[in-house]
Amino acid sequence: MNRIADEKGNHVQDIFGEDVFNESVMMKRLPKKVYEKLKRAIDEGSELSPEVADTIAHEMKEWAMERGATHFTHWFQPLTGVTAEKHDAFISAPMADGRVLMSLSGKELIKGEPDASSFPSGGLRATFEARGYTIWDSTSPAFIRRDEGGALLCIPTAFCSYTGEALDQKTPLLRSMEAVNREALRLVRLFGNRTAKKVIPYVGAEQEYFIIDREKYLKRMDMVFTGRTLFGAAPPKGQELDDHYFGTLRPRIAGFMHDVNEELWRLGVPAKTQHNEAAPAQHELAPIHEMANVAVDHNQIIMQTLKRTATRHSLRCLLHEKPFEGVNGSGKHNNWSLVTDEGVNLLDPGKTPHENIQFLLVMTCILRAVDRHADLLRESAADVGNDRRLGGNEAPPAIISVFLGEQLEDVLEQLVSTGHAEGVKKSGTLYTGVSTLSDISRDATDRNRTSPFAFTGNKFEFRMVGSRDSVAAPNVVLNTIVAEAFRDACDELEAAGPEGFDNCVHDLIKRYAAEHQRIVFNGNGYSESWVTEAKRRGLPNLPSMVDAIPALTSERAVRLFGDFGVFTPKELTSRMEIKYETYSKDINIEARTMLEMFTKLLQPAMFKGARQLSDCVNSLKQAGIDTSVQLEILEELGELIREASSARKELLSAMKNAENCIGGRAQAASYRDNVVPAMEKLRKPVDRAEMLIDKELWPVPTYADLMFEI
Ligand code: ADP
Ligand code: MG
């Protein structure tokens, strides 16, 4: 194995981005004019002529072939939750003499036509118009992926229906980036910035995951089919000692991480931080933040790389939000900020009064956005697996609130009560309108890990997202709701004119702070009392995915997404349908797996356990030895066998009822209300039986085997 530790540190610099068709490669290989045109297309969204596209495609192919690629693919993100690809060799039709040429045309680079009918469309696309298009996203660089199949040129693309409706994650993301760019530029212009050309959302997505042994994984039908354990008694030790968190990496894991990093660096993914997470066998990887669409693509690459590399190391990477009951699940922290092309972060408290006022307006606009559309933000993190995590005393509750930190909250409170703020806690004095906000230092406030949406110095961290999910959806929502808040503020500021500007900003900040103060919560988000308090404040609490989905098609959402051209009403309805369907299908697969595992593996083991005990009782009796203890356990086991058997029947009938439900929402609700509880009912007696039975008889690896023995 190739060990960086044995090599020079600058090895990383050598390999970083070597498999990426990035700017430096383009600059080197493309004719200057072509490069400039492509650059303009990337920066300004201008069209590429067919000749220019042909030249780029040709060079991209040459470069890819030099790096060993034989095939290319349009790499896209349909609404299946994973990426999709269809490989095409570079060969063109054989010539008369039987030889082939290798080619990639501009047309092939820009547009692909996968059959769209086999991807989820939520009714957007009838089979007679099955055609779908993948369209090159030139803002996210092409890259070469290597695996057992060789090297493959991956061209990031958006995926649309024949009639132009978005069938993927990327299209709405790009639209939302344009929306927030437009409105944020308006805002910075009003504050006197004449030079910025663009405001770009930046995203850093911290990824949590579990690593277990692959052999053991393959012995668990539940993990193979559903990604999580459907049965399993808690091990004697969980995460109570906190000894795993930030602990030294086990050698096998360290080796795995080494290879993950190396592969990611080759792909230009700035993997930066790695450490053990709270639960046994749980880890985290954080890359450095990048432009939102690149970060979203890179997060997909990270997830795929984790999985592929794990397999090579005879390990298995679990991305499910809750692979094990009783210990923490996994999420993804979506760090988000808005940065101009000149590098100014709008979420950075400024050093001058002028910047401070802009900062306070941006902050209060974000408060307004999150308060108005808390349901949408919650929905963007809705995922079948995440239902098992949110609100479970390990992850934020299903209630959206914003953590600002003591200092900022104090500023807002003063603004609301007196119209201006002075004597800011900890640091200096703040006046608004005409005055100074002393530099709000990054660490003026403690952290709050229980908040779903926390301000962390110069960015917001949205912590609800599930570990398996694309981070596209939360960023689509963030970009769009903030675009709306900026638009409303700019409308008022522009109407006030230059003379009225100072007063208008002051009034807006004060008004937004007062109107949306209810969304600010600095306390313990995991506590019961917060649930009660949030209810009193009128904040939505949407505990399950099924509760969250309707937010997508509310009148308010339709208007919001329509105003900014992010989703049409049809696209929203299709996403709603897909989500209900996904929920029902996922739970149905879990229930079927559970039944199969129970009837074929675990129930027989329970029978064997009972048999072993009764054999034991018989032989002891013959020897005249007291059998009361054995009989007691046998009775307990018998009771559990009966309980499990009747739970199995209940589950079967709950599944039948759910299958017969008509309509996406009704069916999903039936799965949630009847099938999920029936599954829990079956699990309980089986997990208790596991604790009573000889380990030799238990046919699947236990929690202790999976989490501790690696
Ligand atoms: P924290 O300790 O607050 O979580 P880190 O510096 O460790 O902060 O960063 C966590 C993640 O947030 C990383 O992925 C990092 O790149 C990202 N991040 C840092 N600054 C920003 C920013 N301005 N915008 C978006 N993401 C950011
Ligand atoms: Mg963090």
Question: pLDDT tens digits for 138-150?
Answer: 999 999 999 888 9
- Whether ligand 1 lies within 6 angstroms of the CB of 271 is answered as no
- Nearest residue to 635 via CA among 586, 683, 689, 592: 689
Residue 427 pLDDT level (bands cut at 50, 70, 90)? very low
User: By CB neighbour count within 10 A (0-12 exposed, 13-18 middle, 19+ buried), where does 383 fall?
Assistant: buried
Dist CA 209 CA 207 (whole Å): 7
Atom of ligand 1 nearest to the CA of 457: 3
- Whether ligand 1 lies within 6 angstroms of the CB of 204 is answered as yes
- Whether ligand 1 lies within 6 angstroms of the CB of 445 is answered as no
- Output the pLDDT for position 440: 47
Summarize pLDDT for 551-581 with one digit per residue, the tens: 999 999 999 999 999 999 999 999 999 999 9
- Whether ligand 1 lies within 6 angstroms of the CB of 332 is answered as no
Whether residue 443 has pLDDT greater than 70: no
Instruction: With beta carbons less than 8 A apart as the criterion, state whether 300 and 470 touch.
Output: yes
Residue 113 pLDDT level (bands cut at 50, 70, 90)? confident
Summarize pLDDT for 182-209 with one digit per residue, the tens: 999 999 999 999 999 999 999 999 999 9
- Whether ligand 1 lies within 6 angstroms of the CB of 459 is answered as yes
Atom of ligand 1 nearest to the CA of 348: 23
CA of 464 to the centre of ligand 1 (A): 16
- Whether ligand 1 lies within 6 angstroms of the CB of 289 is answered as yes
Atom of ligand 1 nearest to the CA of 270: 16
CA of 563 to the centre of ligand 2 (A): 32
- Whether ligand 1 lies within 6 angstroms of the CB of 298 is answered as no
- Nearest residue to 133 via CA among 212, 47, 74: 74
CA of 71 to the centre of ligand 2 (A): 38
Buried b (16+ CB within 10 A) or exposed e, 428-462: eebebeeebbbbbeeebbeebebbbbbbbbbbbbb
Which of 335, 449, 460, 478 is the pocket-test mutation for ligand 1 (most atoms within 8 Å of CB)? 335
- Output the pLDDT for position 592: 98
- Whether ligand 1 lies within 6 angstroms of the CB of 405 is answered as no
Atom of ligand 1 nearest to the CA of 273: 7
CA of 447 to the centre of ligand 2 (A): 10
Summarize pLDDT for 57-108 with one digit per residue, the tens: 999 999 999 999 999 999 999 998 889 988 999 998 888 998 989 999 999 9
- Output the pLDDT for position 7: 57
Whether residue 425 has pLDDT greater than 90: no
Residue 423 pLDDT level (bands cut at 50, 70, 90)? very low
CA of 316 to the centre of ligand 2 (A): 24
- Whether ligand 1 lies within 6 angstroms of the CB of 287 is answered as yes
CA of 241 to the centre of ligand 2 (A): 22
Summarize pLDDT for 584-613 with one digit per residue, the tens: 999 999 999 999 999 999 999 999 999 999
- Output the pLDDT for position 420: 65
Summarize pLDDT for 167-184 with one digit per residue, the tens: 999 999 999 999 999 999
Tell the residue nearest (CA) to atom 24 of ligand 1: 337
| Percent of the chain surpassing pLDDT 70 | 93
- Whether ligand 1 lies within 6 angstroms of the CB of 335 is answered as yes
Whether residue 127 has pLDDT greater than 60: no
Q: CA dist 224 to 229, 320, 594, 638, 670, Å?
A: 9, 11, 12, 30, 25
Whether residue 438 has pLDDT greater than 50: no
Beta bridge pairs of residue 332: 207
Atom of ligand 1 nearest to the CA of 206: 14
Dist CA 8 CA 473 (whole Å): 40
CA of 174 to the centre of ligand 2 (A): 25
- Output the pLDDT for position 414: 81
CA of 461 to the centre of ligand 1 (A): 8
Which of 289, 294, 442 is the pocket-test mutation for ligand 1 (most atoms within 8 Å of CB)? 289
Residue 291: nearest ligand to its CA?
1
Residue 208: nearest ligand to its CA?
2
3-state secondary structure of 540: coil
Residue 430 pLDDT level (bands cut at 50, 70, 90)? very low
| Residue predicted with more confidence, 682 or 12 | 682
Dist CA 685 CA 662 (whole Å): 32
- Whether ligand 1 lies within 6 angstroms of the CB of 385 is answered as no
| Residue predicted with more confidence, 129 or 501 | 501
Residue 355 pLDDT level (bands cut at 50, 70, 90)? low
Residue 443: nearest ligand to its CA?
1
Summarize pLDDT for 628-666 with one digit per residue, the tens: 999 999 999 999 999 999 999 999 999 999 999 999 999
Please name the amino acid found at residue 706: L
User: By CB neighbour count within 10 A (0-12 exposed, 13-18 middle, 19+ buried), where does 557 fall?
Assistant: buried
Please state the φ and ψ torsions of residue 155, each to the nearest 5 degrees: -110, 110
- Whether ligand 1 lies within 6 angstroms of the CB of 345 is answered as yes
Which of 68-72, 128-132, 333-337 has the least mean pLDDT?
Answer: 128-132
pTM: 0.94
- Whether ligand 1 lies within 6 angstroms of the CB of 202 is answered as yes
CA of 560 to the centre of ligand 2 (A): 29
- Output the pLDDT for position 419: 67
Dist CA 15 CA 18 (whole Å): 5
Tell the residue nearest (CA) to atom 2 of ligand 1: 456
- Output the pLDDT for position 6: 54
Ordered DSSP codes for 237-261: --STT--STTPPPPHHHHHHHHHHH
Atom of ligand 1 nearest to the CA of 289: 16
CA of 382 to the centre of ligand 1 (A): 23
Summarize pLDDT for 224-271 with one digit per residue, the tens: 999 999 999 998 877 777 777 777 888 889 999 999 999 999 999 999
Ordered DSSP codes for 576-628: HHHHHHHHHHHHHHHHHHHHHHIIIIIHHHHHHHHHHHHHHHHHHHHTT---H
Mean per-residue pLDDT over the chain, rounded: 90
- Whether ligand 1 lies within 6 angstroms of the CB of 348 is answered as no
Tell the residue nearest (CA) to atom 19 of ligand 1: 289
- Whether ligand 1 lies within 6 angstroms of the CB of 288 is answered as yes
The answer for residues whose C-beta is within 8 angstroms of residue 130's C-beta and 6 or more apart is 115, 116, 117
Dist CA 685 CA 688 (whole Å): 5
Residue 644 host element (H or E): helix 628-659
Q: Hey, CA dihedral for 296, 301, 303, 306, is it positive or negative?
A: negative
Residue 703 host element (H or E): helix 703-708
- Output the pLDDT for position 8: 60
- Output the pLDDT for position 352: 62
> How many CB atoms are closer than 10 A to CB 684?
14
- Whether ligand 1 lies within 6 angstroms of the CB of 458 is answered as yes
Dist CA 549 CA 190 (whole Å): 37
Q: Which two tokens stand for residue 369?
A: 């956005």
CA of 334 to the centre of ligand 1 (A): 9
Residue 125 pLDDT level (bands cut at 50, 70, 90)? low
Residue 422 pLDDT level (bands cut at 50, 70, 90)? low
Atom of ligand 1 nearest to the CA of 203: 25
| Residue predicted with more confidence, 536 or 7 | 536
Which of 293-297, 430-434, 541-545 has the least mean pLDDT?
Answer: 430-434
Residue 120 pLDDT level (bands cut at 50, 70, 90)? confident
Q: Hey, CA dihedral for 657, 659, 660, 665, is it positive or negative?
A: positive
> How many CB atoms are closer than 10 A to CB 97?
5
CA of 136 to the centre of ligand 2 (A): 32
User: Interior CA angle at 677 toward 676 and 683, to 5°?
Assistant: 90
